Amino acid sequence: MIVETLVPLQAMILALVAVAAASVALCRSPLRQILLSGVYGLLLVVLFVVLQAPDVALSMLVATTVAYPLVVLVAIARTGARRPDGDEERQR
Amino acid sequence: MTRRRIRGAVAVPALGVVGAVVFWGLSGLPSFGDYHGQYGRLINDVALPERHTTNAVTATVFDYRGLDTLGEEFILFAAVTGVVLLLRKSGRRGVDAAPKDRVTSDALRLFGMLALAGGVLVGLWLAAYGYVTPGGGFQGGVAIASAFALLYLAAGYRAFARRTSEEALDPLEATGAGGFAVVGLAALISGLPFLANLLGPGQPSTLFSGGSIAFVNWAAAIEVAAANTILFKAFLEQYIVPLAAARSRR
Amino acid sequence: MNFLAFGVAGWICLVGFYGAIVSENLIHLALCLTVIQSSTYVLLLSIGYRTGGGAPIFKGVKLGTTSVDPVVQALALTDVVISVTVIALILALALDAHNDAGTVDPDELAEFHG
Amino acid sequence: MSWLLPLPVAIPLLAAAVVVATDHVAPRRLEDAVALVAAAAATAVSILIMLDTQRGAVLHWFGGWHPRGNLALGIGFVADPLGAGMAVLSTGLVTLALAYSWTYMREASRLFDTLMLVFCAATAGFSLTGDLFNMFVWFELMGVAAYALAGFKVEELGPVQGAVNFAITNTAGAYLILMGIGLLYARTGALNFAQLGQFLAARPVDRLVIVALTLVFVGFLVKAAIVPFHWWLADAHAVAPAPVCVLFSGAMVELGLFAVARIYWTVFSGTLHAHDGDVRSLLVWIGVVTALVGALMCFLQRHLKRLLAYSTIAHAGVMLVGIGLLGAKGLAGTANLVLSHGLVKGGLFLVAGLVLLRLKAIDELRLHGAGRGLPWEGALWLAGAVGLTGFPYVGVFLGHSLVDDEAGGRSFDWVPPLLMLAEAVAAGAVLRAGARVFLGWGPKRDELLTPEPEESPPEQRASVPLLIAVAAVTVGLGLLMSVVPGLEARTEHGAERFVDRPAYAARVLHDVVPPAPPRPPFTLRRATLQSWLYGIGATLIAFATAAVGLWYRRLPELFLGLVARGLGPPVRALRAAHSGIVGDYLLWLTIGTAVVGGVWAISLR
């Protein structure tokens, strides 16, 4: 019985993951991309749960909700913002 | 056409061929859900009776394939060292200015402290029961580190920096990573293979199940928590300090 | 369903590569690398899945119950950590590139000439 | 003495942790000393392991998890002569590099020492492991340390860009390897090399295995800098600090090739036995192309370290030919090449570091004649260049002639002359640069050579005699590798064991210890007339190349015009392809994967 309900669920989540992966890779703005990749990461967490991998799901959860956004947002803020000394020209 | 356009145009057929080859190969896989690999079955069969760990994944990660995890811990260790090396000339070190905190609300500060305490507790719990239920050193360690990141968000940079000084974090990180190697060497010195279990299997389903898995697990938790805190700090310094410096100059 | 899981893994890898090849921003490129990496998790976990099998955690489960493959999960766990660290390193390099050149567009970083 | 096997990994890792832990209390010199002693200890243990393997492969099962039946339960290290030799070379190079860095690298020395130690441990683990996924873990560990080391000089754009290109291309390659590992695990339910090989050998090759072979090999060929996956190498090697270049050129590239050989022989050789001709022809072809492209690009450089980096690509091609011929003799040739090339090239990078230190520039034309006052550096540079040409009984000669023998024996007679040409041209470029810098020969301007960004000189208080001594030891050891008595017999013997898959599997899975082999004699290789001719021919071509590079303008106008018209467009295109843009490199990675996968999908099916 579990099997029967699980298979369509897995198929649906796999399809969502495929779409989300494409949207992360093809989205061109980094800021929108980190938001999309958060969604993508959570979908992966769900997928891992239905694939019976709770340990991996938990790791992915902490990675995708904390580690990635933090470092990526800092990098975006730093590179997108103006330079601290106010010039945006290339230094070379 | 820009260089990038040309690249995209060439990439499509090239990826098409790669895709054709890869899908052709994937079609030779055993059917989904019908896997009979011997390795995993062997571990499922022996993990509980021989190792008294109810979580076969943790038994694999910390015991049967513990060497992979030793390598993995040092990947984290090396990456954090690398990030500190690469960011040593910019951020706080580059602009020597004390940052101004934007957070002024005491209630928010209190929330930050509570969040820190809560996060650390969750992290410890995750790490402690890793070999019984899902979880373990890595997940617990990241949870602890993210509690510090929350502290930054709620209470500001200074509160964060005060609680995460390099003088404390570096030795902690090194103890975690080195502790793993020491557990391995201790076995070697007592005449057993590297990383062999010195302490017997212990009781199933308790905190002490799995013998020296417990030590390795805690070493990993310490290493991951300290390393990720250093990592977050190195990145946050890139963000907070240049901004503060720019504001004070204006 | 039979091929869907593996096909999705292959698709994620290809689309990640395309995104990385045409990327205009090193941070974007790093995230595309995480997409490529995620294809390996999907592949590994799909390979180890067994229909009707539970998670390989034997607490309160009687011995001999079917469960999915624990080894692929151990590999995927290692993989997650590797991914986080490599991305952090690449982002640190991107910040340095921004400090030195004022840009994170890989096509505008042009120090080498053959 | 199987308990020795974990030590070359454990000692440097523990030392790295100690260096970090004591950072805020211990003086810098003490930390440097800990690092140097740990690397030296790892080298010493590796040498003991290598001596031990002469009697048979040595095993260590981590955690004491011996195989059950014929299923490997845990991870094992399996030391054989070639694997242990690789560990000796790479840990030894780390020791030499750390000795050189004693005064050369002062700034951020704690972080530098830590990463060097981690790199040292990773190379040792990579060389000794008997498990596919474990090899991937060491590969990533080596990579993470190397990316950061390549970008060490963060305030210059060149190193940062080089490190970016290096990190991204190699990471993408690593993910391909991981997919390949997943496919192999799906088919076999095993990660141990011996078990994988045994499972696959029992059945004919199928599509899954072909694609897995492609993905795994492409990933490691990225690390080995084989055309068309080689682009990142020059960018990363040219910009890293000199002691780091030693490891990149001397050990890291070679470890990529080592992985190809190890995995082919333990995992795929059984199932591909009937098709080995198709594998062989592809590997030999891309090896030859790599050698030629590397040599040509080498000739066009004026940045000394970048020039040496392209020379490494040329040699990596020759080494791949030795492996790709799929014979024990060729493999022994590659093993000898790895040893002698690693030391000689490492030494040349150390000399380049000295030039940068003392003359504050690294550009051949800017340094025109500036090196006249540096006789030691000049002599070492000349010696190193000759060591790379294959002159009889000097440097790479032994390895080269073994590869030539194997090629001749497998009716690849067209290969040795091309390899000779490639090595000679690459060595000629090194000679030309040396003549220009240390003797002031040739003109000060040359539009043929590509200008590259300059590099800021290192710490000025470095002790020059120490640096010269380390460089001299490194080059000297490399030059002597062709005249070590008995080395040839031992590497050939080691290679024969390396390619004996059934014996490897029996040793690993069933603990069958083969009878101790007779002790090979301590004799020198008797060079055949053919190898003398090749060696002397290569040396002549090298000197001729150097002379042409210096004085080509004195050649007749008509001839120059013809050459320019004929060679100009392809050379310009090749140069433009080395764009330094990481997107281009990833595209080439895709194209290369498509070609390798497509060819093998059609021919092996």
User: What's the total number of domains in chain B?
Assistant: 1
The kind and range of the H/E element at D77 are strand D76-79
Say if C26 falls within a structural domain: yes
Return phi, psi of residue D168, to 5°.
-70, -45
Give the mutation candidate from C3, C4, C8 for the A interface (greatest A CB count, under 10 A): C8
Chain C residues with CB under 8 Å of D305 CB are none
For residue B138, give the nearest of A57, A59, A65 by CB distance. A59
Instruction: Say if the Cβ atoms of B175 and D17 lie within 8 Å.
Output: yes
What pLDDT is stored for residue B201 in this prediction?
59
What pLDDT does residue B200 have? 63
B24 reaches D (C-beta below 8 A): yes
Identity of the residue in D121, D208, D594 whose CB atom sits nearest the CB atom of B17: D594
By C-alpha distance, the chain C residue nearest D148 is C89
Instruction: Determine whether the interchain pair A44/C73 forms a contact, defined as Cβ–Cβ distance below 8 Å.
Output: no
Residue-range definition of the domain harbouring residue D155: 142-268+557-605
> Does residue B146 register a pLDDT over 90?
no
Residue D337 and residue D297 share a domain? yes
Q: Which residues from C are below 8 Å from B23, CB to CB?
A: 7, 10
Indicate whether C33 belongs to any domain: yes
Touching B: C residues 9-48, CB under 8 Å: 9-10, 13-14, 17-18, 21-22, 24, 46-48
Identify whether C83 is part of a domain. Answer: yes
Residue B183 has pLDDT above 90, yes or no: no
Does residue D77 lie within any of the structural domains? yes
pLDDT digits (tens, 9 = 90+) for D257-277: 999 999 999 999 999 988 899
Looking at the complex, report in whole angstroms how far the Cα of residue D299 sits from the nearest Cα belonging to chain C: 11
DSSP B38: H
pLDDT value of position B36: 80
Q: What pLDDT is attached to residue A91?
A: 38
Q: Which is higher by pLDDT, B200 or C79?
A: C79
Sign of the C-alpha dihedral, residues D108, D93, D76, A56?
A: positive
Per-residue CA distances from B230 to B142, D142, D280, D293, D364 (Å): 11, 21, 48, 43, 42
Residues of A in contact with C67 (CB under 8 A): 52
pLDDT computed for residue D179 by the predictor: 95
Q: Which of A58, A75, A81 is closest, CB to CB, to B135? A: A58
Do residues D286 and D227 lie in contact, with contact meaning Cβ atoms separated by under 8 Å? Answer: yes
- Residue in C closest to A19 by C-alpha: C12
Q: Residues D202-213: what's their mean pLDDT?
A: 92
For the ranges B21-35, B173-187, D97-111, D204-218, the one whose mean pLDDT is highest: D204-218
Does B79 contact chain D (CB < 8 Å)?
yes
pLDDT at D422: 95
Task: Return the amino acid letter for D368.
Answer: H
Radius of gyration of chain C (CA): 19
Residues D434 and D543 in one domain: yes
Q: What pLDDT, on the 0 to 100 scale, is given for residue D98?
A: 95
Tell me the average pLDDT across C77-88: 89
- The reply to whether omega before D517 is within 30° of 0 (cis) is no
Residue of D nearest to C49 (CA): D186
**Which residue range forms the structural domain that includes residue B225?**
36-249
Question: How many domains, chain D?
Answer: 3
Q: Is C110 on the interface with B (CB under 8 A)?
A: no
User: Does residue C106 lie within any of the structural domains?
Assistant: no
Contact D154 B185 (CB under 8 A): no
* Same domain as D400, residue D531: yes
Residue D388's closest CA among D545, D220, D162? Answer: D545
pLDDT band with cut points at 50, 70 and 90 for residue A89:
very low
pLDDT of C63 higher than 70 = no
Q: Do A25 and C32 touch (CB under 8 A)?
A: yes
The answer on pLDDT for B11 being more than 50 is yes
Which of B95, B142, B236 is opposite residue A62, by nearest beta carbon? B142
d(CA D26, CA D243): 24
**Of B90-94, D50-54, D279-283, D326-330, which gets the smallest average pLDDT?**
B90-94
Query: pLDDT category, C108, cuts 50, 70, 90?
Result: confident
pLDDT exceeds cutoff 90 at D180: yes
Average pLDDT over residues C51-80: 81
* Residue A7 banded pLDDT, cuts 50, 70, 90: confident
Q: Copy the structure tokens of residue A44.
A: 């992966």
Summarised one tens digit per residue, pLDDT across range D541-581 is 999 999 999 998 888 888 889 988 988 899 999 998 998 89
> Is B246 close to A86, i.e. CB distance below 8 A?
yes
- pLDDT value for B210: 57
pLDDT, averaged across chain D = 92
Domain with C62 in it: 4-101
Q: For residue B98, what pLDDT is reported?
A: 54
The percent of residues above 90 in pLDDT, for chain D, comes to 74
User: What's the pTM value of the predicted model, to 2 decimals?
Assistant: 0.94
Q: Is residue D511 part of a domain?
A: no
Residue of A nearest to C96 (CA): A79
* Domain shared by D247 and D284, yes or no: no
pLDDT value of residue C67: 84
What pLDDT shows up at residue D453? 79
- Pick from D500, D593, D590: nearest CA to D213: D593
Contacts of B168 (CB under 8 A, 6+ apart): none
Q: Mean pLDDT throughout D493-522? A: 89
Question: Within a domain: residue C40?
Answer: yes
Tell whether the model's pLDDT for residue D394 goes beyond 80. yes
User: What pLDDT sits at residue B55?
Assistant: 81
Nearest residue in C to B6, CA atom: C22
pLDDT at res. D116: 96
What is the distance between the alpha carbons of residues D179 and D194, in angstroms, rounded to a whole number?
20
Give how many domains chain C has, as a whole number.
1
Residue A81: what pLDDT? 47
**Residue D537 Cα distances to B73, C97, D423, D544, D597, angstroms:** 51, 46, 11, 10, 37
For residue D152, the number of C-alpha atoms closer than 13 Å in the C-beta half-sphere is 29
Segment B49-59 mean pLDDT: 77
Mean pLDDT of chain B: 80
pLDDT band at A87 (very low <50, low <70, confident <90, very high): very low
Look at B173-177, D224-228, D598-602 and tell me which has the smallest mean pLDDT: B173-177
Greater confidence, D414 or C51?
D414
Judged against a pLDDT cut of 70, whether residue B132 lies above it is answered with: no
Top-confidence range, B173-177, C102-106, D545-549: D545-549
Yes or no: say if D94 and D39 are a contact pair by the CB < 8 Å rule: yes
Cα-based distances in Å from A14 to A41, A62, B217, C9: 13, 21, 32, 9
Identify the band that residue B100 occupies on the pLDDT scale cut at 50, 70 and 90: low
A81 contacts chain C (CB < 8 A)? no
At D324-337, the pLDDT tens digits run 999 999 999 999 99
Q: Do C113 and D186 touch (CB under 8 A)?
A: no
pLDDT score recorded for residue D226: 95
ipTM of the complex: 0.94
